[in-house]
A = this chain, B = another copy of it.
Amino acid sequence: MRGPMHENGGMPASDAVEQPEQPWSRRRLRSTNERLLLDRLRGLGTASRAQLARETGLSKPTVSSALASLAAAGLVHEVGTHAPERGRTAVLYAPDPAAGYALGVDIGRGWLRVALAGLDGRLVARSDVRNRARASAALTDLIVTTARQVMANSGVDPAEVAHGVIGTPGVYDEERRRVRYAMHLPGWGRAGLVDRIRAELGVPLEVHNDANLAALGEYAFGVGAGSRLFAYIMIGTGLGMGIVSEGRLFTGARGLAGEIGFLPWHGRRKPERLEDAVSGVAVVEAAREFGMRGQLTAKAVFDAARQGHPDAVRAVELEGERIAHTVAAAAAVLDPELVVLGGGVGHSVDLLLRPVREHVRALTPLRPRIAPSRLGEDAVLLGAVAVALDTARDLVFERRTAGI
Q: Which residues of A approach B to under 8 Å, CB–CB?
A: 4, 21-24, 26, 29, 32-33, 36, 56-58, 227-230, 241, 245, 250-264, 266, 271, 325, 328-338, 363-366, 368
Q: Assess the A333–B258 pair: CB atoms within 8 A.
A: yes
A251 proximity list for chain B (CB < 8 A): 335
With contact pairs A56-B23, A260-B332 given, residues A252 and B229 touching in the complex (Cβ less than 8 Å): yes
Contact residue among B4, B230, B256, B263 (Cβ-Cβ distance under 8 Å from A328): B263
Contact residue among B29, B241, B264 (Cβ-Cβ distance under 8 Å from A29): B29
Q: Assess the A334–B32 pair: CB atoms within 8 A.
A: no
With contact pairs A262-B328, A262-B365, A328-B263 given, residues A58 and B335 touching in the complex (Cβ less than 8 Å): no
Determine how close the nearest CB of chain B comes to the CB of A202; give it in whole angstroms.
Answer: 34
A337 proximity list for chain B (CB < 8 A): 253-254
With contact pairs A21-B36, A264-B364, A328-B263 given, residues A335 and B254 touching in the complex (Cβ less than 8 Å): yes
C-alpha gap A23/B334 in the complex (Å): 34
Contact residue among B26, B241, B253, B330 (Cβ-Cβ distance under 8 Å from A229): B253
Q: Assess the A366–B328 pair: CB atoms within 8 A.
A: no
Q: List 8 A-B contacts (CB under 8 A).
A: A21-B36, A228-B253, A253-B338, A259-B332, A259-B335, A260-B333, A263-B332, A266-B266
Q: Assess the A331–B262 pair: CB atoms within 8 A.
A: yes
Contact residue among B21, B32, B252, B336 (Cβ-Cβ distance under 8 Å from A335): B252
C-alpha gap A57/B22 in the complex (Å): 7
A228 proximity list for chain B (CB < 8 A): 253
Q: Assess the B57–A23 pair: CB atoms within 8 A.
A: yes
A331 proximity list for chain B (CB < 8 A): 262
A56 proximity list for chain B (CB < 8 A): 21, 23
Q: Assess the A29–B24 pair: CB atoms within 8 A.
A: yes
A256 proximity list for chain B (CB < 8 A): 335, 366
C-alpha gap A22/B263 in the complex (Å): 43
Residue of B nearest to A252 (CB): B335
A338 proximity list for chain B (CB < 8 A): 253
A227 proximity list for chain B (CB < 8 A): 253
Residue of B nearest to A32 (CB): B24
C-alpha gap A266/B325 in the complex (Å): 11
C-alpha gap A257/B331 in the complex (Å): 8
Contact residue among B24, B325, B334 (Cβ-Cβ distance under 8 Å from A33): B24
Q: Assess the A363–B258 pair: CB atoms within 8 A.
A: no
Q: Assess the A333–B334 pair: CB atoms within 8 A.
A: yes
Q: Assess the A335–B26 pair: CB atoms within 8 A.
A: no
Instruction: List 8 additional A-B contacts (Cβ < 8 Å) besides A259-B332, A264-B329, A329-B333.
Output: A21-B56, A26-B29, A229-B252, A253-B368, A263-B329, A263-B333, A264-B363, A330-B333
Residue of B nearest to A324 (CB): B264
Q: Assess the A23–B36 pair: CB atoms within 8 A.
A: yes
Residue of B nearest to A360 (CB): B264
Q: Assess the B252–A334 pair: CB atoms within 8 A.
A: yes
C-alpha gap A140/B125 in the complex (Å): 66
C-alpha gap A333/B326 in the complex (Å): 10
Residue of B nearest to A229 (CB): B253
* Interchain residue pairs A-B with the least CB separation, the first 9: A252-B335, A253-B337, A256-B335, A257-B335, A262-B332, A229-B253, A333-B333, A263-B332, A262-B364
With contact pairs A328-B263, A365-B262 given, residues A257 and B29 touching in the complex (Cβ less than 8 Å): no
C-alpha gap A336/B251 in the complex (Å): 10
Residue of B nearest to A53 (CB): B23
Q: Which of A228, A331, A332 has the most chain B CB within a 10 Å cutoff?
A: A332
With contact pairs A228-B253, A252-B229, A262-B365 given, residues A241 and B22 touching in the complex (Cβ less than 8 Å): no
Residue of B nearest to A369 (CB): B253
Q: Which of A22, A58, A261, A264 has the most chain B CB within a 10 Å cutoff?
A: A264
Residue of B nearest to A253 (CB): B337
Contact residue among B258, B335, B365 (Cβ-Cβ distance under 8 Å from A4): B335
